[in-house]
Structure formats: structure tokens, C-alpha cells
Amino acid sequence: MKSRMFRPAAPAAGDRRPSPGPRARHQRPGRLLAVAIAAAGMAAALVLAACSSGGSSTASSSASPSSGARLTVADVAPFSGPDAALGPTYLASCYGATSAINAAGGVLGHMLTCKSVDTRGDPADAVPAVNQMFASTPNLALVIGCTSDEAASVAPIINSHKMAMFCMTGQSEFDHTHFPYFYRLVPPDLEESYAMTVIAQKLGYKRIALAFGNDIGSQTFIQPAVAALKKAGITLTTNQSLDLKATTFRTEAAAIVQSHPDAIMTEALGSADPTLFSEIKQLNGGKIIPIIGTSAAISPAFYKSSAAAVGANEFSSNFHADNLVVLSSGPAYQAFSKALLSQQGKVPGATGNFTTYLSAPGGVHLYDGMNLAALAMIMSKSTNPSVYGPDIVKIGDGVPGATVCYSFAQCAPLVKAGKAVKYVGPGGPTSFDSFHDSTGLFQVDTYTPSGQVKVVGTISPAELRALAG
């Protein structure tokens, strides 16, 4: 089925979606034993954080860096395992942002550099990896990434070290538990379930099959999706769980084909979804069933493997995904695209069409997070997150009369001159709540046959609210 065009609706700059709900972005627990170990680790970390009134500092986060020393931005994310594409996606953001910051003179006499911290997509592996990061990384100034694979287990640890973090998770505990050093620019999974259902409504689908990975992050989409489909009057034909460690999904593919859905709503990272698409095509007379994905599907690696599995033309004409609204023109986008594309061919692990990172959630929002942190360092005259952290919100949200600026290079001289600024990056304006959570509006994305992301519409807050509750 050919994708139908949506009628784009321009969102208001300050518009906010409904209050966040449960979210577990990209979290996969691995084995049950790993979950048990991670839960124990999280509990211990929470106790540590509570008993230390925000935690004890280490040399990596509290000591002032020596003159001219490089500041490190750590990308805490999976670089191996089924979610291995996430780490390089965020690393591309880090390379792009730090290259632009360094080209503009750096921060307080310091250049910035990036470091990969592989969590393997498993909370039990993430805890020692993060502990080792703090033990071995001098001049650590910021953490990015921290997906739902590991955020529940490592965010309390990072917070206890008084280290600022911009995380790509939306787990429900972060909606209601205040970690002073935690910041988030991505939406909750619950709202993505609503957004996928809105896409199904817009395309006129009446029958939907669900196919989500057996990881915690993917499974949390299911309950709100089932409820939203029911409220929308759309029939759920089947609900299939995909084992991310499996190499074939013949049984699940057969069940989906036999249920005769109009489309499939899915998130199963790694090779799972592409394998499923291929086997559905084999069992469905050589045709794939239209696909509605989450924002995790906006990834060069996902497109490359999916197009290889079923054909670029067929996949691109039968695929839609929700994504956060991001700018595609103007000064913020121009600075972002220049910075990111300058790193093409330089980012370890990055594969596929590099331009896809211009629309990938991590590509946009972590870039904004790093700029906010760097500008906050200049405003506070400190590289210590305990000092510069509060200025992240001031620079992102602005104050009355603040000068709007669109890149580190444009904002930094104003901040140095003592002027109030409001940074608006490619992810649009921020509006942080008391939990340091700021999310924007949804857009609807497709791919061209060459793998470029194409925006075909937006989803309004009213459309999301109509499916909530």
C-alpha cells in the first residue's frame, strides 16, 4: 500500500503535550537474573543517593580541571547487543556538538571530547561500566545517552556523583522522582503508543497487529497501545512478542498474516523487526504488511537492515513512524546539520545513510542537551554540574527579555557578555518542568527509497488526548 500524505499542521512554538506517562524507552533486561541483579543495584544506588543528600562527589566530577585540560562527555549507551545501534547514534551527536563547541573556542579555556561507555543494553552490565567510568575518567563534565536499557539502574548512581545527564529514557519513575542532575528532552512511551494509533487512524486502518520485542522498553508500549486501539475503534488482530535473541520469527509471522491486519504496530530492535518483515513477505504472497514504528525506527541502521530484508522501494512505501517534531530549516537546523554532517565517516559504529541522524531523536535532542550544558558552564563560570546545572533550565527556557539564539557559536559570546539568552536548537524550544522534563510535539516520518527521512505530517496534542485515559 502506498503511503498517503498527511496534511501538515504547524505546531505552536510553546505548545506542550499532555503530562508524561509511563515510558521505558529502549530498555531490554536480558535475562531474569540480570533484572534481579539490576533491581538490587538500583535499590542500593537509591539508598546511597538518599543518604548522601544528592550523593558524594568523586575526583572526576568535583575537581576543577587543570588549565587547558579536555572535558569529557560520556555516551552511556549500548554499543553491543541487540540495541547496539543506539550508542553510535548518540555518539554522532556528541561528535557533532563537541566539534562545533571546540570550533567556537570551547568552554572556559577547555576543549571537549567524547567517550563511549558500553552498557551492552543490560542493566546488570551497565552498573559496573558506569562505576568504572567514574573511576577512570578525569574531567568528566556531562553524561548523555542513558537509555531505558540501563537508566533505572545507573541514573541514581550518576546522580549520586552529582553529574549532569541528558538521558534518552522516559521510564515512569523519572516522571515522578526528582533527580537534581537528570534532564530529559524525549517523550514518554505511553504517548508514542497514542501517536502510533493516531497514525493508524489517519491512514484509515481498521485492523492492527502488534509485534513488540520481549525487552522491557518495547513491552511497555503494548498496554497503552491496546487501550488506545480500543478507544479508537480499531480491531486488535493479534499481539505477538518477539524474542530479540531469536533468529527466526516464522511462527509469529504466520500468526500475523493469518490475522489479516491492515498494518503492524511494532518496535523490536536489532535484527528482529527486519527478520519479521522478511518472513511476513514470504508468507504473504511476496507482499509486506504496512508498518507503523516508534521513533526508534528513525535510525540509519534500522532502515538499512529493513530495506535489505524486503526491498527499499517496498519498505519505504509501506512504512510510517512517529517522531518528535524537529526543525528542518532555519539557523538552528543549519548549525546542527553543518556540525553533524562534518563528522560523517568519523563516528565509530555509525552505519547506513548518515543524514538519517539529522532526524534521529538522539541526533537532535542530545545535541541540544550538550549545547545547553556547555552554555550553562559559561554562564556559571564553572564546569562542575553542581554549579552549572541550574543554568541549563535558565538558558533553555529563557527569561523575559532574553535574546533568542540558535547555536553555541551564536549564544556563547552573548553569555560571556552577561546577557540573558534563550537557546532554541533543532529540537525546538524547551519548557522544563520540576522534574527537568521537556518534550515537544510529534511528527509523522517516512523514508525515501534512498533512506532519507521525509516528514509527512504532525500529530496534535488534541489527537493524543483523545486516546488517553
Contact 195, 17 (CB under 8 A): no
Cα dist. 192→209, 235, 466 in Å?
Answer: 16, 19, 14
pLDDT at 46: 39
The conformation of residue 116, written as its DSSP 8-state character, comes to: E
The set of residues, in sequence order, having a beta carbon less than 8 Å from that of 29 and lying 6+ positions away, is 35, 38, 122, 123, 215, 216
Alpha carbon distance 112, 342 (integer Å):
16
- Predicted structure pTM score: 0.73
The conformation of residue 425, written as its DSSP 8-state character, comes to: B
Alpha carbon distance 76, 159 (integer Å):
14
Alpha carbon distance 179, 135 (integer Å):
21
Place of cell 512554538: 13
What end-to-end distance do the CA atoms of the chain give, in Å?
A: 32
Beta strands in 186-336 (DSSP E): 207-213, 235-242, 263-267, 291-293, 319-324
pLDDT at 163: 98
pLDDT at 55: 36
pLDDT at 465: 87
Contact 175, 23 (CB under 8 A): yes
The set of residues, in sequence order, having a beta carbon less than 8 Å from that of 227 and lying 6+ positions away, is 467
The conformation of residue 428, written as its DSSP 8-state character, comes to: B
Q: Which three cell numbers stand for residue 86?
A: 543506539
Question: What's at 406, amino acid-wise?
Answer: Y
The set of residues, in sequence order, having a beta carbon less than 8 Å from that of 12 and lying 6+ positions away, is none
Alpha carbon distance 29, 8 (integer Å):
38
pLDDT at 83: 85
pLDDT at 468: 84
Alpha carbon distance 213, 243 (integer Å):
6
pLDDT at 63: 54
Kindly give the pairing relationship between strand 140-145 and strand 165-167. parallel
Task: Kindly give the confidence (pLDDT) of every residue in the chain, 469 residues in length, as a single tens digit, with 9 standing for 90 and above.
Answer: 333 333 333 333 333 333 333 333 443 333 333 333 333 444 444 333 333 333 333 444 445 787 789 999 999 999 998 889 899 999 999 999 999 999 999 999 999 999 999 999 899 999 999 999 999 999 999 999 999 889 999 999 999 999 999 999 877 678 777 899 999 998 777 888 999 999 999 999 999 999 999 987 788 889 999 999 999 999 999 999 999 999 999 999 999 999 999 999 999 988 999 999 999 999 999 999 999 999 989 999 999 999 999 999 999 999 999 998 888 899 999 999 999 999 999 999 998 889 989 988 788 999 999 999 999 999 999 999 999 999 999 999 999 999 999 999 999 999 999 999 999 999 988 989 888 988 777 899 999 999 999 999 999 888 988 998 6
Alpha carbon distance 121, 77 (integer Å):
7
Question: What's at 462, amino acid-wise?
Answer: A
Select from 279, 327, 384 the least CA-distant residue to 57: 384
Question: What's at 308, amino acid-wise?
Answer: A
The conformation of residue 448, written as its DSSP 8-state character, comes to: -
pLDDT at 133: 98
Place of cell 541487540: 82
pLDDT at 15: 34
The conformation of residue 235, written as its DSSP 8-state character, comes to: E
Bridge partners for 446 per DSSP:
454
Q: What is the DSSP string of 20-74?
A: P----TT----SHHHHHHHHHHHHHHHHHHHHTTS----HHHHSPPPTTPPEEEE
The conformation of residue 250, written as its DSSP 8-state character, comes to: H
> Which string of b and e fits 101-117 if b means at least 16 CB within 10 Å?
bbebbbbbebebebbbb
Place of cell 543549519: 334
The set of residues, in sequence order, having a beta carbon less than 8 Å from that of 112 and lying 6+ positions away, is 70, 71, 72, 73, 98, 101, 102, 106, 141, 374
Alpha carbon distance 153, 337 (integer Å):
33
Bridge partners for 212 per DSSP:
241, 267
Q: Which three cell numbers stand for residue 336?
A: 546542527
Kindly give the pairing relationship between strand 442-447 and strand 453-459. antiparallel
Contact 149, 117 (CB under 8 A): no
Torsion of CA 453, 182, 385, 100, to 10 degrees: 0
Burial class (CB in 10 A: 0-12, 13-18, 19+), 373: buried
Bridge partners for 442 per DSSP:
324, 459
Beginning with the edge strand found earlier in the chain, give each strand of the sheet holding 71-77 in spatial order.
Answer: 112-118, 71-77, 140-145, 165-167, 182-184
Alpha carbon distance 395, 432 (integer Å):
11
pLDDT at 178: 85
